[in-house]
Structure 1
Amino acid sequence: MKRLLAAAALATATGFAPLPAMAQANPGEKVNQLIVYGDDPCPASTDGSITVCARKDEAERFRIPAPLRDNPNASVNQSWTERVKAYETVGAMGVASCSPVGSGGASGCMAKLIDRAYAEKKQASDVQFGRLIEEERAKRLQTIDKDAAAEQGRVEQLEKEYEARLARERTAGDAPAAPAPAGQAPLATPPQ
């Protein structure tokens, strides 16, 4: 957690602006992220927003969040492989080595900091709202094709009615004027 905060502070201090989350790609769509406990109901989504609820056990309601309870850097929480990886960089120097020795030694420090932050984020046991948002968005997108097909059918039906009305009025222009059907105004005839 400390490494992630350090990476964020360093990135901000060096002028990197935080990138928007993928869920915010569509600015017109609001995402409401909630954590609900036990059998608490999840508020329904509206047309303008997606509500995503992560459900946790009732026993977790008043506890300190799990990522803050444990020390992820404690040796008991790390696998043997992770502990051995430290030996791979012993004696490393030069470009991209993140060492004070050699020219360009400090050039790899930011890359290592970013790699560690992403590794911690990937291993975090916290709720992954990005995945939940994508699932909710997929549910909404399933009905778009059906709705579009229904709308297309309505538009085509209106076009057919309009063409039939035009045809009736053209043939009626040759014959004496007939009254327009109830509820419809007659179309204007172009000058001859």
Structure 2
Amino acid sequence: MMKEIMMFRPLLIVALLALPTLASAQAQAQAPATAQPVAQTESGAAPQRIRSVTLKAGEKCPASTDSDIVVCSTLDQPYRIPKQFRDDAPIKAQNQSWVNRTATMDQVGRVAGGLPDTCSPVGTGGQSGCALATNQAWAAERRAQQGAATRVP
């Protein structure tokens, strides 16, 4: 059985190498020959490419042509959504991924078990994470204050 497979291996390799050549020859035979290109606006076809251009202060957006579309953004606002419509609020629990939910449940279980670095009155090493928890709470409060200051017009 193994000898029969070994005999057909060279034929299989040749067939697999010839397959892309045959497919490209068939695609070239089926491609229609056009006399001259038609403008995109007249044909209603999709543009051939979409260019994304990042502009510096004072630069103008280049004009788009029939074959391409130009999307411009500035360095200070690289997103299409204007700043006043962006939502920086925390994501609600029911809209979070299961990974975030699992991480939250894991942390709650660690605190309830009194494991080290959890700032829990229960367990042998629970008190060892109180300084870390205080620093994390302070950093989160600072981020919230800075976020609130940027939203005020």
TM-score by length of 1: 0.25
TM-score by length of 2: 0.30
| Bigger relative contact order (CA 8 A; separation at least 6) | 1
